[in-house]
A and B are shown apart, each in its own frame.
Chain A
Amino acid sequence: MAKRIKPFLLANGPMLAAIAIFILVYVIGGQLYPNMQKPQVFFNLFINTASLLIVSIGMTFVIITGGIDLSVAGMIAMTSAASAALLAKGASPVLVMPLMLLVGIVFGFTLGCIIHFLKVQPFIVTLMGLFFARGMAYIITLEALPIQNATYRYLALTKVHIPFFANAYVYIPSLVGPLLLLVVIYLSFFTSFGRTVYAIGNNEQSARLMGLPVGRTKIIVYSFGGFCSALAGIVWSISLLSGYGGYAPGMELDAIASVVIGGTLLTGGIGNVIGTLFGVLINGTIVSILQFNGTLSSWWTRIGVGVLTLIFIGVQSLFYMRKKH
């Protein structure tokens, strides 16, 4: 038994640490503010971090391959602005949503192609993607556009009641993230695509020598990242019912921080999406503790997330070193 537990702990240490920290932070919050013990507060985490969760899931794959995607926040802004503009022109949501997803995939595909074929650092390419997407959003509309479409309103305002919890609910958009998570868990653990992603992250050279489709997988991963950002943008525009180029400032950093807190190594190869879920939840919990406190200001979120990232990197390098020995 002990023989099995030790490798398991070593392999999943950072992720387990993330889960432990989440529980710890949540319990501390519950002790400080008894109202936080209500189940609704827990489900609020999913409502508030709906977009961040989706973006972070896409980011996890990208980071596992050893890359990084800084363009996510720009894509969210562009999607929200474009869908608001299209809906204002009278386009049908049935058309707008698939179109946005397609735009996201094409965008991610382009970035992936530049990264793979021109051998440019992902950091620089996706940075260009960020500038480009935000700029396009501002070209579409310079000020925030409201969305008055009936379907969007329905999606935004319908409560989904959680079974077994009285009076607990989430909104429809907040279900997208968890559903996507299930799909991605399947993708990463039960398909050859998922294994290829990990292989590339561990050592791209040997993955190529093993005959794995490195280029194709990398491009698919970035396309998937673009898809996730577009999906997050749709969710964002549904929950805010408006579109604007300045939305989601700095969300790429929140996403990266969540992924890192969730136990994924930025050098690639190690980590999984389940940890990312808890990274996102930790982020959301810090925000809700600040909201419950009321006197603390929002800047403590940034400091808190920064400090947590630091702790996690410490934990990670510790585990990593242990593994090496």
Chain B
Amino acid sequence: MKNKTPLLKRMRENRLFWPLVAMALILIIDSIFAPGFFKIGILEGHLYGNLIDVFNNSAPLMLVALGMTLVIATGGVDLSVGAVIAISAGMGAVLINPVFGNQEITNKVAADPNLTNTPLWLVVVVTMVAGILCGLWNGMLVSRAKISPMVATLILMVAGRGIAQLIERGQIMTVYYTPFFWFGNGFILGLPVSTYIVAVMFLLAWVLVRKTSIGLFIESVGINAKSTYYSGISEKNIKLFAYIFCGFCGAIAGLILGSNIKAIDANNIGLNYELDAIFAVVIGGTLMSGGRFSLLASVVGALIIWTFTITMYTFGVPANALLAGRAVLVLVVILLYSDYARLLMNKIFERKGSQHGEAN
């Protein structure tokens, strides 16, 4: 019976179908209007080109989207990821810089690429701990204090950038410590380091949710938290875990972003990431009301956003005006995923499918 479902329908019911169609559409437009888009060259021993840029630039968003997927799957939402990025990147910058932000950075500091206040491993660990603490805070508010997720994370979203500025004493911290740049600008075997970090994180998340029962628990919390509780699963802890993981992902995204820009501006680092991440997850087909989710589809969603962005850059659209184009993209996605559009699409395809069946 199973094999008799038409291939087209099976494909359409696959979670990855729509995201991949969108991706293909963008790439087709690229190949027609911007032939140079796919060119990949080798420069200073590593690959470069638009596609590599897409991977390198979308790495932080992919990470954040991973965490966001789990949070949204539990039926929540995390608006604070942008602020978490700012806080954790700020912690890292403060630990590296040997002078505090309110003091002048002397030439000696700027000239010495290996001068750091704290060893690199400690910087990384503290960045991650900062993110985890932010996630813990969100998770506690949502799971223990029973505050609705949007409000609970809104608090950190509003206050978080203030806290990040407090950490950096209101300065834009420039980092001169060269080994730190490796995360966002380095290359391994010709590919950006950030891509490997994403791959590792993806594998970690995948093993965690698909090879253990956590993934199932998350889905069941998203579908019905109360019945999950009655089935003897601690829905509180599942929610807490999702938010902590999201904070952790935000911290790593902050590490990559800060290392890529080489300066941390509390007001602008990770700006609008929460919105982009939610968008990526929605493109990936995870419902905002929670339930079934797909990590891979969310990652593809993040890739779509950046492919679109870089495509627009190649067409010479100003970065700011790009927002309108992105809105159109959101609109298309909304229309594709709305129940009505789905119904309509199913009707059209079904009719065609049945005709096929008769002909055969």
Contacts and interface: CB of A to CB of B under 8 A. Distances in A.
Interface in A221-274: 245-246, 253, 256-257, 260, 266-267
B170 interface: yes
Interface in A285-325: 297, 299-303, 305-307, 309-310, 313-314, 317
B64 interface: no
Given A257-B154, A266-B150, A127 B323 contact: no
A124 interface: yes
Interface residues of B, number: 46
A175 interface: no
Contacts of A310: 155
A95 interface: no
B148 interface: yes
B272 to A, nearest CB: 9
A135 B334 contact: no
Contact of A135 (B278, B323, B341): B323
A139 B319 CA distance: 10
B323 A124 contact: no
Interface in B296-342: 318, 320-328, 330-331, 334-335, 337-341
B326 A131 contact: yes
A299 B147 CA distance: 25
Contact of B166 (A123, A260, A299): A299
A245 B321 CA distance: 9
B133 interface: no
Interface stretch (A113-121, A161-169, A211-219): A113-121
Given A302-B162, A317-B146, A128 B321 contact: no
A18 B222 CA distance: 34
Nearest to B324: A135
A132 B326 CA distance: 7
Contacts of B110: none
Interface of A: 68, 114, 117-121, 123-125, 127-132, 134-136, 138-139, 142, 245-246, 253, 256-257, 260, 266-267, 297, 299-303, 305-307, 309-310, 313-314, 317
A300 B275 contact: no
B158 interface: yes
B334 A128 contact: yes
Nearest to A70: B275
A120 B334 contact: yes
Interface string B41-60: 00000000000000000000
B320 A142 contact: yes
Contacts of A301: 162
A302 B161 contact: yes
A185 B338 CA distance: 35
A138 B158 contact: no
The secondary-structure label for the interface of chain B is helix
B162 A299 contact: yes
Contacts of A267: 148
B266 to A, nearest CB: 8
Contacts of B129: none
Given A267-B148, A307-B159, A309-B151, 11 more contacts: A118-B339, A119-B338, A124-B278, A127-B278, A130-B327, A253-B154, A260-B151, A266-B150, A299-B165, A302-B165, A306-B158
B321 A303 contact: no
Interface in B126-182: 145-148, 150-152, 154-163, 165-166, 170
A303 B330 contact: no
A295 B159 CA distance: 19
Contacts of B238: none
A257 B153 CA distance: 12
B197 interface: no
A306 B155 contact: yes
A309 B147 CA distance: 12
12 contacts: A124-B288, A131-B324, A132-B331, A135-B322, A142-B318, A142-B320, A260-B151, A266-B150, A266-B151, A299-B170, A302-B158, A309-B154
Nearest to B287: A121
Contacts of B166: 299, 303
B324 A139 contact: yes
B159 A306 contact: yes
A300 B158 CA distance: 11
Interface centre among A253, A299, A317 (most CB of B within 10 A): A299
A120 B338 contact: yes
Given A132-B324, A135-B326, A142-B318, A299 B334 contact: no
Contacts of B161: 299, 302
A132 B323 contact: yes
Contacts of A305: 158-159
B162 A300 contact: yes
Contacts of A317: 145-147
Contacts of B193: none
A257 B162 CA distance: 15
A60 to B, nearest CB: 15
B264 interface: no
B282 interface: yes
The 3 closest A-B pairs by CB, nearest first: A135-B324, A306-B159, A302-B162
A134 B322 CA distance: 9
A306 B151 contact: no
A131 B323 contact: yes
A178 B147 CA distance: 32
B331 A245 contact: no
A267 to B, nearest CB: 6
A302 B159 contact: yes
A121 B290 CA distance: 13
Given A138-B321, A260-B151, A306 B162 contact: yes
Nearest to A300: B162
Contacts of B335: 118
A173 B13 CA distance: 54
Contacts of B325: 135
Nearest to B334: A120
Given A139-B324, A299-B161, A128 B331 contact: yes
A301 B339 CA distance: 42
A125 B150 contact: no
A115 to B, nearest CB: 10
Nearest to B169: A297
B324 A253 contact: no
